[in-house]
Amino acid sequence: MNLNLKNNIFFLKSLLLATLVFLASCKQETGSVVKIANSDNQWPMSGGPDGSYKIKTDLQVPVQWSVRNNENIKWKKSLPAGGQSGIAVWDDKLFFTINPPLDTPAFSELQSNYDEAKSNYDTIYTEELSFLRKEGVSAFETVFNRKNTAHNLFEVFLLSNENYQKLSSEKKKTNYNRLLNKSGAGRMFSEANKKLIDYVNSKSDRVLKSYNQFQQAEKALKTRPVGTDIVLYCMDANTGETLWMRTVKGLLPSDYNYAFSDATTPCPMTDGEFVWAINASGGMACFSLKGDLVWERTWMPTVGRPFNKQFDSVLFEDIILNVEPPLESDSTRIKEWNYLHAFNKNTGNHEWTTQAAITHYNTPVIGETSEGKPAILIGRGGPHGVPERPVGLSLISLEQNNAGESLWHWEPEAPNKLSGYGALNTQHWDTEKISWIYKCEENLTVNSNTGELMSQKPLNIVDQYIYDEMDKTYHLNEGVVLKNSENEFHCNMAVNNYTFYMVMHKPFIARHNMVTGKNEHLELPHEKNADGSFIWKTPQTNDGFNAKGQLHSNDARVLGDGFQRSFLGSPVMINNYIYFTNAIGMVYVIDANAERFDERALVSVNDLGEKGKTWTVNTLSFANGHIYHRTLKEIICIGE
């Protein structure tokens, strides 16, 4: 063979090989434009290495476990106070936040003191009331009769209130107090009853003293803590040993353990050299991995729109992204609105602010466009008077030359009371499409390259797989039409052509095909019995206590059945399995690739603690072959 021909063939082979290597390297980097450097097998922020809440791994992944039975649990550690953040993990260190611990008595002690004081007052009050009735003083008779008349009118009002009469006995207790305070008949009865109590108390020092003791005990029982600061924990990821704790300052007082969020909601971030913590009450701080403070800053969050802060941590290259009002010096943006801000991770200095606003109900997701460019998707809208407009989506560039600029905006046609609920999503997207959910009714698919509407399909006509307790199997009910809140979404995950979400108020996982419009619901067990068998159809409760037995939440929804109205942690997808966690610590593992969305899609049902004593709203983490999770009472390492 001619030498030149041989050389040419060799050159072409070399060129082909180099091209293949280059293409292979490009393929490996696909989806990694926003990935934190060297974060394989780590969990550096809320959404994992690339912020997508999805991870592929060759490591063994825990699928089945039980904290209450200590099955497949490496370690668990009791916490001195509750918190809601996710858990950042890097090598042998993990980071999370809690509310500052308090030395207040356990709820059982406060309840006992209240019961004793109330019983004592009731006894003395009844004795004095009986004495006054025997005396027959006209002033007393007038006050007493007005109270009885008002009480009778309120009882008639309750009997005629159809909505109240339809409620369960448990829900009637809550609504009784609401109607007592808000209805005309209720307020009249409350005022008349208070005048009688004041009259009786004024006639005896003994009654008044017992009343004051009762009031003090009631105040102690009902008082819940608020705070501005949070505590950043660093633990040994292998043992759960506490390595150090640091305070992260904030400015806006926040209730502890609110069912939708509190100051501890954002997950810490780490790049393996430093750790950053965000305090939703208006603070941010950077520490070395040894706990040395590098920098800190505070800002004043928006107030009363409401507090619920669902934004979670995003770290990209040298910037930290956070949701805040405009800077004090900014005269171009609306002061009452929230925007996406970028801060230099090394100094804490402000880099840029988006022109597009974001509602703090929204959980933005970072990713890359079809052209391989970094961007983050943000949303606006929602209930309770959130002000940011227009309702809809904006894709924000993270490229250095136009960082913070909007690539496009999309606005739904329906009014906010319907369309705005899409902003309550974890805002998943890929290089083709985005899912936006109208409240209970429709899924809209938006083109992630152009911001144009691709399709709009109903969510309320559903094929439901219902578990039959008699024959212990699932039955398919096709074409079920759901109404109102029967299909309200809870927390969501987008996978290829599917949107998955946990249904609020009902024990179902939903799967919606964005291409065909097919909707499927899989019924879930509420809980597990001691023998491992499932509890179906029966709503559960939890005590809402932290590890000290303290009840620190003002929100009764904390005590709900796991599917109650609250903001749950975002689901996480590990390989082909999606991990959904409800509020009472049941973790449902769903096969995202299941051909049929029946019992074969339900891989496992796992617990995070004792039945009736577990509560959580955080997102789990996966690193180094272990799942890290938490509840109000403890932090847990899952996987032997």
Percent of the chain scoring above 70 in pLDDT = 94
Contact 107, 545 (CB under 8 A): yes
Does the residue 18 lie in any domain?
Answer: no
The full DSSP string for 318-349 is TEEEEEEPPPTT--SS-TTS-EEEEEETTT--
Same domain? 213 vs 248:
no
> Based on the domain organization, do 266 and 392 belong to the same domain?
yes
> Is 436 inside any structural domain?
yes
Q: For residues 239 and 75, what is the distance between their CA atoms, to the nearest angstrom? A: 7
> Do 192 and 239 belong to one domain?
no
Q: Name which residue leads in pLDDT, 143 or 168.
A: 143
Structure tokens at 618: 């955080």
pLDDT 10s digits, 391-415 = 999 999 999 999 999 999 999 999 9
380 Cα distance to chain centroid:
17
- 38 within some domain: no
Residue among 187, 424, 421 nearest 308 (CA): 424
- Judge if 515 and 575 occupy the same domain: yes
Q: Are residues 442 and 453 in the same domain?
A: yes
State whether 216 and 229 are in the same domain.
no
Q: Which band of pLDDT confidence, cut at 50, 70 and 90, is reported for residue 310?
A: confident
Q: In the listed set 187, 222, 257, which residue is the last one of a domain according to the structure? A: 222
Condensed to tens digits (0 to 9), the pLDDT of residues 71-124 reads 999 999 999 999 999 999 999 999 999 999 999 999 999 999 999 999 999 999
| Among candidate residues 235, 259, 266, the one with its CA nearest the CA of residue 79 | 235
Note the pLDDT tens digit of each residue in 365-397: 999 999 999 999 999 999 988 999 999 999 999
Phi, psi torsion values for 160, nearest 5 degrees: -90, -5
Domain encompassing residue 389: 54-104+225-638
* C-alpha span between 219 and 166 (Å, rounded): 32
Please give, one letter per residue, the 3-state secondary structure of 521-557.
Answer: EEECCCEECCCCCEECCCCCCCCCECCCCCECCCCHH
Residue 239 shares a structural domain with residue 130 = no
Same domain for 208 and 271, yes or no, is no
195 and 264 within one domain: no
Residue 19 domain-assigned (yes or no): no
* pLDDT (average), residues 627-638: 98
**Residue-by-residue DSSP string for 414-435:** S-HHHHGGGGGSB--B-SSEEE
The whole-number pLDDT of residue 6 equals 44
Q: Tell whether 417 and 503 lie within a shared domain.
A: yes
Residues 84 and 171 in one domain: no
Q: Is residue 138 part of a domain?
A: yes
* Weakest mean pLDDT among 244-253, 451-460, 505-514, 553-562: 553-562
Mark whether 280 and 137 lie in a shared domain.
no
Taking a C-beta distance cutoff of 8 angstroms, is the pair 267, 45 a contact? yes
> For the chain, what is the mean pLDDT?
92
**Residue 307 banded pLDDT, cuts 50, 70, 90:** low
Distance (Å, rounded) from C-alpha 207 to C-alpha 194?
Answer: 15
604-627: pLDDT as tens digits: 999 999 999 999 999 999 999 999
User: Is residue 9 pLDDT above 90, yes or no?
Assistant: no
In a domain, 12, yes or no: no
Instruction: Quick: pLDDT tens for 244-278.
Output: 999 999 999 999 988 888 999 999 999 999 999 99
Whether 555 shows a pLDDT value over 90: the answer reads: no
Number of domains in the chain: 2
Q: Is residue 5 part of a domain?
A: no
As a whole number of angstroms, the distance between CA 159 and CA 171 comes to 15
Q: Dump strand ranges (E) for 221-299.
A: 226-227, 230-236, 242-248, 254-255, 269-270, 274-279, 283-288, 293-298
Q: Is the peptide bond before 253 cis (omega within 30 degrees of 0)?
A: no
Question: Does residue 259 lie in a domain region?
Answer: yes
Quick one: average pLDDT of 194-202? 94
Chosen domain end from 222, 249, 280 = 222
CATH of the domain at 245: 2.130.10.10
Identify the domain boundary among 192, 222, 252.
Answer: 222
Tokens of 499: 């949107």
